[in-house]
Amino acid sequence: MKVLSWLNKRISYTRSWRQTIIIGLTMAALLVFVLVFLEPFDTYYFEAPNKNLLLAGYGPFIFFPVLLVHIFTGWVYRTQAQKWFVWNEVIFVTCLFYRT
């Protein structure tokens, strides 16, 4: 039962587009940093003329879904009488990373 009470705990909702853009850009920058400098998934052996530019192209695949999910979360937040719970955050973060 502790899990259910934890999932029903109210948390703050990020209404600001500015904060959402900062979060999206930070997540995209972290992904690009990992791909370019840490070179996981054998990207060390990947040879291409513009390898870093190609790997940086994965950044928008994190940034734009964050913006799209923010539109939908705003609608859910308004329909729930401006309350945001842990279970809302878990569902939307899971949806965000399910496709990326």
46-97 tens-digit pLDDT:
888 888 888 899 999 999 989 998 999 999 999 999 999 999 999 988 887 7
Mark 83-92 as b/e (b = at least 16 C-beta within 10 Å).
ebbeebeeeb
Q: What's the total number of domains in the chain? A: 1
Residue 6 lies in a domain: no
- Distance between CA 45 and CA 30 in Å, rounded? 21
The residue written with tokens 């904060």 in the block is 19
**Residue 41 CB neighbours (<10 A):** 8
Provide the domain limits for residue 55.
14-99
What is the tens place of the pLDDT at every residue in 2-30?
888 899 999 999 889 999 999 999 999 99
